[in-house]
Amino acid sequence: MSEEALAATIQIGDLLVRSGLMSSEKLDEANRLAFKMRLPIGRILTMHGHVTEAMLAKAIEIQARIKDKALPLDHGVNALKVSCRDDIEVDEALNRLMPKAKPTVVPTSNRLGEILMAAGYASPKQVEEAMIHAADTGLPLGMVLLSKGVLTRTGLNSALTAQRLIRQGVSERDKILFALKEARLRARSLTESLRNQAIDPSPIEQEFGIGELLVLAGIVSESQLMSARESEVVDGKSLEKAICESGFASEPCVQTASQLLKMIKEGMLFENQAAAIVKKIQFVTSYDELNKVLAGIDEIQDELAEEKPEIQIPEILKKAGLISDKELQIATALALANRQPLLKTLLDAKLVNEKNLDLANQCKIYLDHNLIQLEQATIAIVYAIENNLTIDETLDCFGWSAPVV
């Protein structure tokens, strides 16, 4: 990989290793733990004392400057080392290393926080507080604002889409921001606002891709997919890499899902068949394990033919009394009209909240593996909501024991 390509994709862990602040062995261990616990790598590093919160914040700042092409990779590595060793600010470390160099203005106008403020989605204070929280938790800025209720899921998705369009140079920045602001004020889709500004939205219109396949397979939740998409746009990495590095799915699983997508497009597989195959390999962590599973692909296909129909999340929500038949019919019609996932429509219309959706999603995973029955799932969801418990805690309360999948 060229130095330029490496700089464009440099990760926090790599920066810390290159600067001598931690060993590659500890990073590998942290990456495995992040995958297992489904937590951001930065959170794992601070939880286990590999780095301090201050060191992580400095690494994040250096990473942003390198990716914005405001700082060469080698200078960034050295600055991080000096800044952490001498407990000084990043700018002071840079001045020590390059005292005669003309200060470089760090371009920030196309960062997500700036775009959200420019379009009126968030105030400077809200963005500043969210950035502090993001540094503390390792969560992406957009997901922090979403969790705090500053942004809706639709608003975050629109802002990320606008950011991608700006970076791709599809149109002038001001025109795209105007369309984003108009979408917010008029409560309309960004696609519609873009077309009103004579901006072609087709470069970023989503089709059934890797994220949708993993969601359909029950491996990744809608929230996790949104988080990965933010990382894709903000950090300039592929969605596949963002999903793997976030610990949402293993690399062998994601790569196989990519191959299955090609088979879907070539008419060799249906979407539900591909999702069932991905589900079989979701916990493999090596290519040896993967090959063993895929060696029985014919048996998997035979199983699919005999499998009972999958219970979908909307049905679980309905059985638990969280949505009515009429609400589900209306949401289905809206989802088809807007060409967006049904679960996203239910959230946007506030027919269900994210917490209840996560509970239903957890139950679906256990139902798909035949570890609990639908009746148990509906009872567990209602009890979990009433008592502010997780599904695992609820199953333990009833003596059903939380299953291991």
Q: Residue 397 — very low, low, confident or very high, per pLDDT cuts 50/70/90?
A: confident
Provide the pLDDT for residue 299.
54
The tens digit of pLDDT for each residue in 161-202 reads: 888 888 777 888 899 999 999 888 887 778 888 888 888 877
**pLDDT one-digit tens code per residue, 194-232:** 888 888 877 655 557 888 888 878 788 766 777 788 777
**Is 404 a residue whose pLDDT tops 50?**
no
Q: Predicted confidence band at 295 (pLDDT cuts at 50, 70, 90)?
A: low
Lowest-confidence pick of 110-119, 298-307, 341-350: 298-307
Decide which of 140 and 135 is more confident: 140
Token digits for 142? Answer: 């957009």
pTM for this model (two decimals): 0.44
- Res 109 pLDDT > 70: no
